[in-house]
Amino acid sequence: MKNTCLVAIFIFFLSIVSTAQNGNFPSQVWHKGQIVTVSGQVYQGMVKYDLDNNIVQLQQNGVETFGASNVLQFEIYDEQYGGIRNFFSLPYPIAGDYETPVFFEILTEGTDIVLMCREFITTDNRGMGMYGPMAMNPLWGPPIAGVYKLAFNYYFLKDGKIQRYAQKKKELLDILGDRSDEVELYMRKNRLSHDKRGDLLRITAYYNQIR
């Protein structure tokens, strides 16, 4: 029985490794969606995005490629993780001080501040001991050393300025400075973390509710 369980676990992890290596991340597959250009044209079809190169592709009769400078917004229905995801092209200095159009995914927005992100694929080097966690996280994948996973850089749009967030509590409170006392109290009461995606969504939504 013990050997059977070990074999089953081994096969399970092999299938996950195969899935990751065969390119099943959201940016590597086609999604139902639409693209809105800066001229106001709307294209619907199968959409595939590449945030590294800031391009989005549309598949209809053939494949057409759009750069971030030509796109106002695009959205996809992500069947893998569920739900509609929205991306906007905004000016941002990726390297140096020169601003160029860059795609950002909008996670939550409000009157005063917007939480955004840019995903990327990296290698999961987290160790996994005999009693390590076995549960699958739909956004991060299983904690298997050496396997590719989805990761995110986070950004806040406030007062017309995009600020990259390095996931440090002091930095978060500085960004939310005018309401930092209320936000910090809310975080303590609800045991929210400054570096967890779901908690950041709640914190941003709360900030936008404070008057």
Give the model's confidence band at 150: pLDDT under 50 very low, under 70 low, under 90 confident, else very high.
confident
Residues 26 and 90 in one domain: yes
Say whether pLDDT at 137 is over 70. Answer: no
Q: What is the mean pLDDT of residues 163-182?
A: 93
Residues 44 and 141 in one domain: yes
Q: Percentage of the chain with pLDDT > 70? A: 78
In sequence order, which residues have a C-beta less than 8 Å from that of residue 173 and are 6 or more positions away?
Answer: 180, 183, 184
E-assigned strand segments in the chain: 31-37, 42-50, 55-59, 63-67, 71-77, 84-92, 100-109, 113-124, 147-158, 161-165
Residues 93 and 109 in one domain: yes
Q: What is the mean pLDDT of residues 83-91?
A: 96
Say whether pLDDT at 211 is over 80. Answer: no
Residues 157 and 203 in one domain: no
88 beta partners: 73, 104
Residues 179 and 128 in one domain: no
Residues 170 and 145 in one domain: no
pTM of the full predicted structure? 0.78
Residues 194 and 118 in one domain: no
Residues 179 and 108 in one domain: no
CA gap 41, 70 in Å, rounded: 10
Structural domains counted in the chain: 2
Residues 99 and 135 in one domain: yes
Q: What angle do CA 25, 28, 30 make, to 5 degrees?
A: 110
Handedness of CA 138, 142, 147, 149 (dihedral sign): positive
Say whether pLDDT at 135 is over 80. Answer: no
Q: What is the mean pLDDT of residues 54-74?
A: 96
Q: What is the mean pLDDT of residues 149-166?
A: 93
Q: What pLDDT is recorded for position 147?
A: 79
Domain span including residue 154: 2-165
Give the model's confidence band at 10: pLDDT under 50 very low, under 70 low, under 90 confident, else very high.
very low
Q: What pLDDT is recorded for position 146?
A: 57
Residues 100 and 194 in one domain: no
